[in-house]
Amino acid sequence: MDFAKLKRRLYYWIHQIVNILLRLTWHLLHVTIHLCYFAINIANALESHLISKGLLRRYKSLHISKLQYLAIVIESEDCRTSNVIELLQWLADLGVKHVCLYDMEGILKKSKDFILEKFDGATLFQENDVLLDQPLMTLEFASFSDGKEAVAKAANVLFMKYLKSGSTSSYQGEQIFTESQMGEALKTVGGNGPEPDLLLVYGPARCHLGFPAWRIRYTEIQHMGPLKSMKYGSLIKAIYKFTMVQQNYGK
């Protein structure tokens, strides 16, 4: 009995020691990851500061002509008009001429008059406008409802064409709508704006937050972090990385 009791106590202490070692390993790994992220953030902040001061030579010359249309996606909870206006001023200083401002809930769209008034170096972008170099920046305001309504209207246009073609009068197999037909329908209802060359996401989520998917088929997407923590150097770096990317389009 004494040997069995000793054996149980030995197993108990081994189990306790193993648990302690596993917890220590987990906490050590957790701390290591946090330190790595902290070091990366410090390095990025330092690089951004050097870029904004013009101390890194390769970022001094931007081929801004490659960036015809820029989309900025902002988390709705992070939409501060003061930050947006400052960001637009940075873009204007860099020579960006066409910008789309997007948030899911349409907060920016509701504030477009205020933004256009405060940022007097911009005009409202119309869907039929041509992306040409011009003195003033053009701004497009979009939200999740725009894409949702556009898809619903485009689907209705395709359905009406399907009915008018007499396809329901006799069995012709399953009707399939192609991507080109959907694109034409979106143009008809006014839901097929310019495709951005670059999309910058400001917010915690690393996704486009519902920005119309048919407009970003060939778009470069970069996550920029929270809008309140935006940095001029990070903006220059993102645009520089885009201008250095060689885009290959499929047939």
Mean pLDDT, 10 residues at a time, the chain of 251 residues:
77 91 94 91 87 84 89 90 93 92 90 89 76 82 73 60 58 57 57 83 86 85 92 94 73 51
Into which CATH architecture does domain 64-147+191-244 fall?
3-Layer(aba) Sandwich (3.40)
pLDDT value, residue 89: 93
Tokens of 151: 């898809």
pLDDT value, residue 58: 84
pLDDT value, residue 171: 46
pLDDT value, residue 161: 65
Q: Where do the domains of the chain lie?
A: 1-60, 64-147+191-244
User: Residue 189 carries which side chain, given as an amino acid letter?
Assistant: V
pLDDT value, residue 17: 92
CA distances from 64 to 42, 98, 197 (A): 28, 11, 11
pLDDT value, residue 134: 76
Contact 87, 230 (CB under 8 A): yes
pTM: 0.74
